[in-house]
Structure 1
Amino acid sequence: MNTPDDLEFEHLTAAQARGRGNMVEDIYRASYVDAIASGDLFDSPFEFMRRFDSYTGPRNGDRFAYVLARVRGESAGQTWGWSLPPDAAWWSGFQPDPGLAGDFTVEDGERTFALSEIMVCAGYAGQGIARAMHDELLRSRPEGRATLLVEADNSRAYQRYIQWGWRKVGHLRPDWPDAPRFDVLLRDLAD
């Protein structure tokens, strides 16, 4: 799959991304059209932006990384995440698959990057932009590994993550109102 020749990336800090909240919400609305239309409270733009405000708040400030994708100057997608701090709530409720080391969820602030969101506006879907943003964000990370959450029944995204080198390590349900249960995926970044 060939990405558009005029695909460009812009890296933003937490404060810069937060300052462009309207753009972040517009991209969300253009990417999650079906999820929003489902009426599921968790997928509502209001709840999404409430989570975004939390992600870009003081707690993640300098740990937060955001990549905006543009094609011919138009927003086409976005992705972000942050380095997990030593007291990361990310692992709360984590149910590991058999065989994981006992210290699997121990964080030191430099061990794990949490890839929180990756979305492509519907008009740009199927052009390789998600993979390009994914690679752009992760290639700049100093952590040794990355983690993400994916709904088990989201077969399209799940299949892509596996193709991109991710593997399932367990599941959890985040402490957000109406949050679904997610599978937890992991990818080594040292390679």
Structure 2
Amino acid sequence: MTDVTYTRLNDEAAAGVMDQLCEVYADAYGEVPGEDTTVKSSAFRDRATSALSARNYQLVTASVDGELVGFVFGYSLRQDRDWFVGLAPAPEPGFTDERGGERTVVLAEIEVRKAWQGKGVGRGLHDTFLSGRHEERATLSANPVATATHALYEGWGWQRVGSKPGRPGAYYREYAVFMHPLPLAGRN
């Protein structure tokens, strides 16, 4: 396999590569018959731009010979974000407490160009991003019926903790919610 270079970027640097992130996102999902790709790409740009102002935002990119082939970004979860509202089954007391907004990191997006999927780039992005975080746990939400994606996450050590309703205007009505303890096993 060709050498992949992983690079950490802060919010300011990430803003400078937003167009490239959108290209990778569009390529990762490809054409879906009957779907207006501009709607999904526009929604991604809005989410990605909004995330830049989140606490402890970080982007990790994967490049091969100078070409961006994938990325992951996330940020520290704030208590007022209401990330776990409506989580079912109801979590144990204290599960949703963020204790100063530094308890949980949200892995908001992880995307890899179609030609690079299945070659370890996603796992490299995942591990690079999470190994650099100081929080005690990570969370992500996913399409509730994407069982192959769920199996991939579970293989990476994530545990499904339930489902939560999508917010108004969200892409899905419901999301599967996963958690992962930090630091990653075998990492400092």
TM-score of the superposition, structure 1-length normalised?
0.87
Q: In the TM superposition, what whole-angstrom CA distance separates every residue of 1:83-129 from its partner, at most 9, and x where no partner exists?
A: 112322322332235xx321111112111011111110011111011
**What whole-Å deviation, never above 9, does each CA across 1:129-167 have from its counterpart, x for those lacking one?**
101100000000111100000112112211110011111
Which 4+ runs in 1 deviate beyond 6 A? 40-43
**2:14 alignment partner AA:** A
Q: What is the percentage of aligned positions where both structures have the same residue?
A: 30
TM alignment of 1:21-170, pairs within 5 A:
21-34=18-31, 37-39=33-35, 44-57=40-53, 60=54, 62-96=55-89, 100-108=91-99, 109-170=101-162
- C-alpha distance 78-166 of structure 1, shift in aligned 2 (>3 A): same
What's the RMSD between the two structures over aligned residues?
2.0
- 1:120–1:130 Cα contact (<8 Å) kept: yes
Per-residue CA distance 1:32-73 (angstroms, 9 max, x = gap): 1145x551689611111111111113xx1x411110001122
Q: Aligned equivalents of 2:105 and 2:38: distance in 1?
A: 23
SS at match of 1:95: coil
Q: Distance in 2 between matches of 1:135 and 1:85?
A: 23
Residue correspondences, number: 182
Q: Is 1:42–1:48's contact at 8 Å kept on the other side of the alignment?
A: no
Q: Any idea what SS the aligned residue of 1:185 has?
A: strand
Gaps of 5+ in 2: none
How many Å separate the matches in 1 of 2:39 and 2:89? 26
The reply to whether residue 188 of structure 1 matches residue 181 of structure 2 is yes
Whether the aligned pair in 1 keeps the contact of 2:31 and 2:37 (CA below 8 Å) is no
Which consecutive unaligned segments of at least 5 residues does structure 1 have? none
- d(CA) in 1 for partners of 2:72, 2:11: 12
Matching residue's letter, 1:146: A
